[in-house]
Every structure is written in structure tokens, then in C-alpha cells.
Chain A
Amino acid sequence: MIHIIRVKNVMGKDLIGEGVLNDIYQMGIKNITKVETAKVYRLEGVSEREAKVLAETVFCEGIYQEYTLNSPIIKGANQIIEIAYRPGVMNPEVGSILKTAEDLGIKLIAADSSHEYGFYGKVTHQEIEDIARKLHLLNEMVEHFVKEKQKTLLIKDIPAKTNIIRLRRINDEQLLELSKDKLFLNLEEMKVIQNYFQKIKRDPTDLELETLAQTWSEHCAHKTFKARLLVDGKNKAPLFERIKKEALKHNKNIVSAFVDNAGVMDFYEGWAINGKAETHNAPSAIEPYGGAMTGSGGVFRDVVATGQGAKSLVSTDIFCLAPYDLDKSKLPAGTLPPDYMLKRVVAAVRDYGNRVGIPTNNGSFHFHEDFRAKPIVLVGSYGILPKSKAKKGYPKIGDVGVVIGGRTGRDGIHGATFSSAEMSEKTMEVNSQAVQIGNAIEEKRVFDAILEARDKDLIRAVQDLGAGGFSSAIGEMGVKTGATVHLEKAPLKYQGLAPWEIFLSESQERMLIILSKDNLKEFLKICQKYNVQASEIAEFDGSKRLQVFYGKEKVGDLEMSFLFEGLPQRVMRAISPRHSERSEESLTNVSISNPSASLRAGKLRDSSLIARNDKMVWAKVLEKVLANGNINSKEPILRMYDHNVQGTNALHPFAGVGMDGPNDAAVIKPLLDKPYGMVVSHGLNPEFSMMDPYWGSVWSATEAISNYVAVGGNYKDASLVNNYIWPFPDKEWLWSLDRSVDAVCDFMKTLKIPVISGKDSLSATYRGSSGVVIHSPPTLCMSVFGKIPDVKKTVSSDFKKAGSTIVLVGKQDLESSIPRVDLKVLPKVLDKVHKAIVSGKVLACHDVSEGGLITTIFEMCVGGNCGVRLHLEGVSLDFARDKKAHLRGGFLLNETAGCFVMEVENETTAKKLFEGVPYKILGKTTQDEKLVVDGLFTVDMDRLQQAWQAPMKEIFP
């Protein structure tokens, strides 16, 4: 029997209910007068008396709540709906309910929790369900309306069997049919597999075939990055090889690169720092909350699973979405509205990052219509570990593999293969299993246990159970030794999983720990202390085979050499666009058609208005620029992210009089009792890299390092993490990807610093059945992390006082449609800026980015609660006479990366600090809170600040 407890607040406001009612009004529905909400708990296996005890001690706080047992609590409503996670989708709350019942001496068999909404007013049940769907009160990928009375909460099922797949005698067409929507391998690869099994004279099991598909998936094997390239007919080395080759030339600080779950560089006093960023686009496109959560969880695990274990210190979140005000009719079938996506990814970071206790102190948002089908959800994490434990570990023969943390369920099956595929409107239906909800606390206790075991020298190696699950983790770890796996030992969420499902499952919050048998007992004791479930599942046995058992049945037996070396290297052709040099004119047209970008420098549709030099017009243009999605203040979002947990921030995301001036990078003190700092920043510009993959990528990388240097980082002690998010790499997209990699290699060469980690995601393409094809803008995101000896030698962006001198340092490009960074000048500028900051003579510094020079200065005024007066002698702003001026966006709106606005005492100081690199005195800071450009305009800061802050305040009140 299931007892149902319903709880509602009786004092104060029903905040959720009011929010829903408000959203309903905004839909134009006026006949609903009130929405009331309640929490529902279902308890199985307890007596009525015990249910009452639980209600009164656990679920209901009598001070402001009341409850009912097995009867409705929302009484006056016309319609009531209940929304719960679907059976089989992990509800993170259930574990805590079971625990607390046990603590109270009550034995629960199962439990669940859900939400009820009561609607007052004349409305039918069907109408309410439609409204709930439209408002996305639920995501039917993971949630459902509870309708029937359940008899049990337990999921019972008979374990499915292992099947033999008749592969040896089928034709090409049948091979492709087998691969479609499931294995995502091409014909050549399918044939290699067919040949292998013909050779060993048997057919594969489903587990073997799935294991091969996962290991050979684009996501895991990076086939494009490892392919031999023919670019316009000319041979070129694989992309990955080129990046690696250039990177390893700059190895001064490298501790570990390209081999482990994250790249590691040297820090101070025997410590090292590590970093990684990765996307979670495919699941996020269909369930942004679960997708972004598991994205965070995955990258945190990558950082922790480096060497013999690291502590994660920083989380970064970068989201590329369609504009939040996009006309819904433009949404292709099977995709979600962007405002919903925005709210849900933010909620995911809040609910996951905050709980795990890793500060989210760096990130950004980018909006472009072409992200409407496949958005980018890119999460990064950075950590610290002893240098002596920073090298990737490998098992020795006789070592055991222990799975710790979450249980294995059906969730995330096919995640690796699915994320390698293009998206279509069918994606939502076919691949629902790839989506899951994260359990942050499970992850936190796993991390706690790993760090203690590391410090007790118990760990040989740590491997994250991410894409591909056991198959990927055990396979990769055992590639040299071989491994025997016992799947029946994996703790399961519920019965009924086939062996291949257990092996491939991507259930979150699990880690594989490899250790010597001698350490097993002590390790299990640590797990017990932290309430971490642990189970010995594999042995690394020297067989050089991957042998998988389910009880006594052998369900898989593959040679490691075939699994990891059998995949043929691809030869891929890249062709430059037919009109090899796209004219500036056509580029301009392309982007002007995009409303979100029309006001960005270089593409000023309204620039003809500015040409009149009309003060009022300038004010309006500035307001529009500052309100743009890529530029406006994200403070309301940052205030919901815990960016201050761990107490390590030495430079917060926002500072200044009202703590509302944005800073360029995170500076943290990984060791609280030491002065050393870690600096973390990033840069990307999907629009620029779409227009020109080379210069757009150079811009992105330069923006990243400029953010890093603007706060006081020394670029010579920095490492790079590169992430490529590209449309499906057919010939032309491969050409542009190749250009982006060229840009990254040139960038490394210029600054003599290495890329030490990164990832590619080459499936940013949507194909609808009606022939609609949407390519997301190809995007290089460059992340930077590095070390500084003293966090006190850093600066924030807020102007510190009136009467200081404002200087622009760096070389602007006023000619090209995408501002090109002069790579010859860049290192000198970065060096000067860094030295100036370390000298202590810089009061404030902020780099020039999207929105251009004037936006940079505006943001510095926000933090300083002050204004500026600029004199721009010798700068052409005469749009009327200079026909090209509007193309260039003018001096004030110019977005050349690698330029810095600095506040110093006076002109003499400026000269001393910056002689030898391009710099220009712009004017002075003023008490009066106005932006004044002599001869051009005077605008009140108040007005601009309102325009800059309003959009996100509206979405996140």
C-alpha cells in the first residue's frame, strides 16, 4: 500500500503558484484566477502511523505548513494536475527520504516525491494539461502527469538476455540499417567489424557490437580530428596531431597534456592545477535542465579524475542559444523555445554547481538565431592536485577496478553515439534515454571519498564513468593489460537491464577507481565513511582481451587491439567555399539579416543615423548596443549561481561601488593560506567564426587571453583549453574547421604557450523532415587558465576615482569587417599590460570585447559610479564623409580583441608604462555620472545602465 502525504504552505506567499499564474496571464489566458501548489510524497511499505510520524517530523513544518494523509490538500481548485519524474528517471530526493526514514527507525520499501498544481477558474482538465505543456511546467522527456493510482513504486522487470547479432552474412544495406539510429557507424566501419567476426568465425553479441560502436563513436574516437586531411586536394596532417605538435613545443609548465581527463600544468610548492571544458549539447537540446546538469557533473568528474585525484575549484558555464525573444514560429519541429532553454540551463547550474560546492565564477552567454535547433552548453572546470599525483595512472596486472557512487540504470544509454549524430525532429522521440537528471550530492560524496583515498596513497588511477560508461572506462584503462568484467556486481537502480545496457549505461555520478588489491579494504572503509556505495567490478588481468561476464555467462570477448586499433583512419576531404574570397559586402549582408547582431561593430545598420552626429541618436544606439543579449549585464544570473563557495575568490565576477561592474576573469586562491593565484578566463565569438573561421578563431583566442591578462595574469604562465563546436563536418565545414585549427596553432606559436586540453563536438547540425537544415554557427571556445605568484597584484575593472587618466592600449583594426588581431603586436601589448598591472600603477583595467571600446568604458563607469570625458582627436567618426567608417563600426564601437582600457594616475604614468606599444590617451574619469565624448555626445549613465541591466532582470526577476 502506498500512503500519500501532501504538504502546502499556509503562511506567506505561494511563490511557485504566483509565478505560474503570472505566466498564464502573459499567455493571454484570463479565466484562471489562482494557482495553488503542493508537494506530494508517496511512501511504500509503512503503516499509517509511521506515515504520520514521517509527515510530522520530516515533510511538514507546522510553523508555516499543513499536510494531509491520503486525501486532497488543494480543495477549492477546479482542476488539479500532478507532475512527477517518470518511473525509472532518478529523483534525487528519494535517496534522502529513504535515509531519513531509516534514521527514524522506519523501514520504507520505496518512496517518491512530486508536485501538485491546483487551478481556480473555469477551465477543463485538457486545457490545463495543454497550458502546463506550453509553459513547460514539465518536460515529457523525463516527467509525466500522474494519472493512475499506482500499486507499487518499484520497477520490476526480468533481466533481458544477451542476443547474438547475425552480422556475418548480411549485405551492405542491412549493415547500414543495423547502424542507423543506434550505432551511428558508417558502412566502412561496419564492414571492418563484419570482417573481424568473419575472421574469428562467430557472430557478435549485442554487447560486443555496442561496445565497438561506442569506442569507435565520433564522441570517443574523435575520428575527424584524427583523420588524414585533403584540403583542396593537398595533404595535411590530422588536426589533432597539428595541435599536439605545436603545443608540446611550449612545455615549460606542462605536467600532463592530451592523455588524461584534464590537462595539468605546474603551480607552486609541489602543486599542479588542471582544467577541462566540454560540451553537452545534444542532451541539452532536448532537456536543457538535465542536460546542463549532467554536463556540469561530467566535467567536474573529469577534473577530479585526473592523475590520482584532484579537487575541483572553479566551474565555468558558456551557453550559446537562440535570442530569448525569438519569434516562436521560427522554431523548427522538435526543438524547444530559447527563453525556456535559457531559464532551464541557468536553473541547472544553480541546482547542480551550488550543491556540489564548486563556485561558478566565470561564464558567458551568446545569442544567435542559428542556435535555435542545436544550442551550445559548454561547461568547464579547473582544479588543484599534488604534482606528485598529477600523472595519469594505469593499472598494473592484478589491480582491481571498483565502481563507486551512483547506481547503474538505463539512463544515458547511447549518449556517446547519440551526441555524435546530427539532430532531427525525431531526436526527441528516439533518443529519450540519453537524458537524465543529476544528483549533485552523490557526486560530492564521491569526490570527498576520492580525495581522502588519494591522500592515503590508495589510488592507482581514476577514470570517470561518462560517455560509454563501463565499456569506455574499463576498456580505455585496460587497453594494455586486458580486463575481466563482472557485470552482475554492478549495483543497479532497478532490475531488468540487459548486460549490454549495464555495460554501456551512462548513469551519472559514478567513478571507476583502480587500485592494488592490497589497498581494497582500506579504500572500502573510506567509501563507507562517506556513504559511498562501492563494488569491485573488474580485474586487470594481463589477458589483453576485454572479457565481460554476467554471472557465469560470457557476454563479450574482444581483443583490445581490435577494439582500440581496429578503427580505420579516415581520409577526409575539405574544400574551401566556391567563392574562395567572400567579399566584405556579402559578409555584411549575411549578418545584417540577423537582428541580434545588427548593431554590433562592423555591421551597424543604424550607422547612417550616427552619421548625423546627433546626440539623441547616439544615446539610442548605445542603449541598443548595451541591451544586446551578448552584451547586457548577466548579474541577475550570477546572483543565483554560488560563485563564492570555498571562499577562494580574490577577484569576484562583479565589483565596484554597487558591486555591479563586471570583471574579465576569475582570480582564485586555491590554497587559502598562500598568496598564489589561479586565473581562469575564456573567449568565443560564434558570429565571427561563422563569417571567417580563421580570423574569428584568432579573435576568440585573443579575447580569452586578453580577459586573462586584463586582471593581472601573465600570459607566459597560461595554458589553453580549446573546444570546437562545429556543424557536421562535410567538405566545406571541414575546411572551416581546418582553418580554425590553423588559427589555434598560429596563436600558440605567437604566444609560445600550449593548448593542454580540449574537445570537439562535430554534430551541430539539424535536419528536419521538410528539408530544413540548420547549421549552428561554428564556434571555437578558447579557455585559459594559469598561475600568478600573488593575488594582490591584480586589478578589477571598476574605475577607482575621478580625475584619473584613461588610456587605450593595443592596436585596433579599423579596416576589416571582422577586426583582425595583429599577432605581431599582441605579445608585446600583453606583456606591457601585465607589467603595468604588477607595478601597482594601474587602478583599473578592462579589455575591449563585444560592444566595442565604448562598452568597455561604460562598464568601468558602472563599477566606479562615475563618468568619463573623452577627447578623440584624430579619430575619424565622420560617417557622412568616410564611406567605410560605418563598415568599420567606428572607433568607439570597434571590437578588436587584444585592446585594453586602463585607468592610471596621469598621462606621465601612462607614457612610462606603455611606451613601445600602441596606446592612446582617451580622456579622464569624472565625478559626474555621464559619458561625454567631446563634440559628439553626452549621455547619462543612469539611462544606459538601465538599458544594460533591464533585459536579464526581466527574465530573472
Chain B
Amino acid sequence: MKTLRLRSGREVNVCILQSDGTNCDNELFYAFKKFGGSPQFVHVNELRNKSKTLKDFHILALPGGFSYGDDVASGKIWAIELVSFLREEIENFRKRGGLIIGICNGFQVLIRTGLLPFGNLGKMDATLAANSSGHFECRWVRIKSNKSNCVFLKENNQVGWFSVNHGEGKFFSSPGIIKKIEDENLVTFRYVDEQGNPTQKYPENPNGSLNAIAGVTDPSGRVLGLMPHPEKFVDVTQYPNWRREKIIKPHGAFIFEDMIKFAKEGK
């Protein structure tokens, strides 16, 4: 497999992919830029009409939002579009060793394309269903990083505050699939309680995800999807309690740092 290598000092090009209804693209752009990446906005139509190509990028990032209104199911319409028109483009990008991250709606899209959790483009193995609370949730929750086979995440067992903003985030599949996900070390993040233990309790687990799963990777470890928004906590002042808690490092920062570092090292 030929991987995409960067010479030292070269830019890490990040494709911030947009569709109708993408709305967390600006803060995602900012987060990648802040930690040394070179982000660029790309509308999905520009990939479809081939005026832009993923060949120019090291990281593909799918932002949060309501792609096509989340009509029928969240991320569904966008996922079908990607599988229908960009299957080859995405497969080639993966073969070259590109990294993919999907946050919130981006995660919903990755799940519905089948890229997560098992890398089966075009076949869904899990879903992100309507929150158990029955409605949209906008709140800050504790997330713990879990030792997984994600190739670029370095931090483990760290607990941080993350913003969740979604109506359909309940990670759900059959017991067999869930077991397989656990056995293959694909879970990257879980919702935890005050003691740092995975929890099914609302609202600490804001959507009722099975096994408190907040994020997963694929078997290659190069695709990451998560419901919480690391890009909304890369500056101290983005956190509601920055005035009363001492924040040494914004809790979402490490994801971008690790990803860019890994891409730079060109593994």
C-alpha cells in the first residue's frame, strides 16, 4: 500500500467537507488551523464535479450540522450521496493512508456509509438512533478516552468535558455487533459519570448509547467518528465554566494535535 507521506515541515492539508446544512464547519476549520493544519473548505458538489479532489488532502473531516435537514434519518441523505458518487474517491483516499474524522453529523454520515465501525463502505452495521430522551440535547458531558486501535489518538483514560449537540446520537446495534466492536478495540470514547465510569444514566449519557459509546474507530484505526464536539473546546473561553475552573489545556485540543502530528509523521 502506497501511503501519503509528508516531507518534514510540509503542510497537513485538511478537507473540511460541506453539504447543504453543514453548520459546524467554521469552528472545525479553526480547530485544525489552530493546531497547525491547513484546512480548506470543499463542498461535496466540488468533489462530484471533480473541480476538487481528495488527492490533495491528508485528512478528510466531516463537520457537524444537519446535512439535508437530517431528513429521513440524520446524515442519511449525505451518506447515500457519498456512497453513490464518491465511493472510488474515498476508497483511494483510504488506500493512500488518509485519515478521516466525522463529528456529530459527520459521525452519523460515517456510520450510515458503513465506513464505521467496520470499514464496509455501503453496508451499515450500526446506527445512531434518536436519543432516548426523545429530543435534541445541547449540554456538556464528561467523555473518557478509551484505549483503542485508533492509530493517531495518544491519550488514554483521560476525562474531559465535551459539548454534545444532537437529537440522534444513540449508538445502537445488535448484541453480536456491539461485542465485535468491543473485542476489536474500536471504541474510542465513552460517556462517563463523576467517578469516571461509563454510564447509562441520563443526562451523563445524553442519548442512551449502548455501552456508553460516544465514539468509534474502524479496524484500520484511521477513521474516527464521535458524537461530542472536540472542536467546540479548543479555546479556554469556549467552556461554560472557564471562570471557575482552571483550564490548563482545552479538552478538545488533543484530538486535533494527535491527528496532525500523526499525519505529519506520515505513518
Report which A residues bind B (CB closer than 8 A).
Answer: 11-13, 15-16, 19, 57-59, 61-64, 92-93, 95-97, 99-100, 103-105, 350, 354-357, 439-441, 444-445, 448, 528-531, 638-650, 652, 654-657, 659, 669, 672-673, 791-792, 795-796, 798, 800, 956
16 contacting pairs across A/B (C-beta < 8 A): A12-B172, A15-B130, A19-B134, A57-B80, A61-B73, A63-B127, A100-B77, A103-B81, A356-B23, A444-B21, A448-B18, A530-B20, A642-B138, A652-B240, A656-B244, A792-B237
A317 to chain B, nearest CB (A): 14
Further 16 A-B residue pairs, CB within 8 A, beyond A12-B172, A96-B69, A672-B30: A15-B134, A19-B134, A57-B80, A63-B125, A92-B71, A97-B71, A103-B80, A105-B84, A354-B165, A440-B69, A529-B43, A529-B46, A652-B240, A669-B237, A796-B243, A956-B135
Which residues in window 191-241 of B have CB below 8 A to A?
229, 231-232, 235, 237-238, 240-241
Separation of A57 and B124 alpha carbons in the complex (Å) = 10
Closest 6 CB pairs of A and B: A357-B23, A647-B27, A96-B71, A652-B240, A441-B69, A15-B134
Contact A659 B241 (CB under 8 A): yes
Q: Which of B81, B237, B240 contacts A654 (CB 8 A)?
A: B240
Give 1 or 0 for each of B126-140: 1 = CB within 8 Å of chain A CB.
110110101111111
Whether the Cβ atoms of A58 and B80 lie closer than 8 Å is yes
Question: Cβ of A97: which chain B residues have Cβ within 8 Å of it?
Answer: 71-72
For A638, give its contact among B71, B127, B138 (CB under 8 Å).
B138
Contacts A357-B65, A640-B136, A655-B241 given; does A59 touch B72 at CB 8 Å = yes
**B145 on the A face (CB < 8 A):** no
- How many A-B pairs fall under 8 Å by CB? 175
**Among the listed A15, A61, A441, A654, which residue makes an inter-chain contact with B21, where contact means beta carbons less than 8 Å apart?**
A441
Q: Is B66 an interface residue (CB 8 A)?
A: yes
Q: By CB atoms of chain B within 10 A, which of A12, A104, A645, A672 has the most?
A: A645
Residues of chain A with a CB closer than 8 A to B27's CB: 646-648, 672
Q: Are B77 and A99 in contact (CB under 8 A)?
A: yes
Flag whether B163 is at the interface (Cβ < 8 A).
Answer: yes
Contact check: which of B23, B68, B127, B240 meets A645 at CB < 8 Å?
B23
Please name all residues of chain B whose beta carbon is closer than 8 Å to the beta carbon of A654 when the two chains form the complex: 240
Of all chain B residues, the one with the shortest Cβ separation from A439 is B69
Chain B residues within 8 Å of chain A by Cβ, number: 58
A910: shortest Cβ distance to chain B, in Å?
19
Residues of A near B244 (CB, < 8 A) are 655-657, 796, 798, 800
Minimum C-beta distance from A299 to chain B (A): 17
Q: Mark B105-129, 1 if CB is under 8 A from A, else 0.
A: 0000000000000000000111101
Contact A58 B72, CB 8 Å, known A641-B138, A672-B26: yes
**Quick check: B139 and A659 within 8 Å, CB to CB?**
yes
A329 shortest CB reach to chain B, Å:
31
Q: Is the CB of A645 within 8 A of B135?
A: no
By the criterion CB–CB under 8 Å, are B134 and A639 in contact? no
Question: What is the CA–CA distance of A795 and B81 in the complex, to the nearest angstrom?
Answer: 46
The yes or no answer to B24 lying at the interface (CB within 8 A) is: yes
Contacts of B58 in A (CB 8 A): none
Which B residues are in CB contact (< 8 Å) with A669?
235, 237
In the bound assembly, the distance between CA atoms of A796 and B243 in angstroms comes to 7
Chain A residues with CB under 8 A of B149? none
A605 to chain B, nearest CB (A): 37
Is B72 touching A531 in the complex (CB atoms < 8 A)? no
What are the interface flags for B1-37 relative to A under an 8 Å C-beta threshold, 1 for contact and 0 otherwise? 0000000000000000010111110110010001000
CB distance from A10 to the nearest CB of B (A): 12
Query: Within the complex, what minimum Cβ distance (angstroms) separates A363 from chain B?
Result: 13
Q: Is the CB of B69 within 8 A of A93?
A: yes
A93-B71, A647-B30, A672-B27 known; A104 vs B140 contact (CB < 8 Å): no
A63 touches B124 (CB 8 A): yes
Distance in Å: Cβ of B3 to nearest Cβ of chain A: 31
CB-based contact B173/A63 at 8 Å? yes
The answer to whether B165 touches A644, judged by C-beta atoms less than 8 angstroms apart, is: yes
CB distance from B58 to the nearest CB of A (A): 22
Does any Cβ of A come within 8 Å of B45's Cβ?
Answer: yes
B136–A350 contact, CB under 8 A? Answer: yes
Residue of A nearest to B166 (CB): A642
- With both chains docked as a complex, state the minimum distance between the C-beta of B84 and any C-beta of chain A, in angstroms: 5
Q: A530-B43, A649-B238, A673-B30 are in contact. Are A64 and B127 (CB under 8 A)?
A: yes
Contacts A103-B85, A639-B139 hold; do A93 and B72 have CB atoms under 8 A apart? yes
Query: In angstroms, how far is the closest chain B Cβ from the Cβ of A19?
Result: 7
With A63-B127, A673-B30 in contact, do A355 and B21 touch (Cβ < 8 Å)? yes
**Other-chain contact of A647, B45, B132, B232 (Cβ < 8 Å):** B232
Most central of B18, B68, B76, B134 by chain A CB within 10 Å: B68
Give the CA-CA distance A459 to B139 in the complex, in Å: 39
Contact A100 B232 (CB under 8 A): no
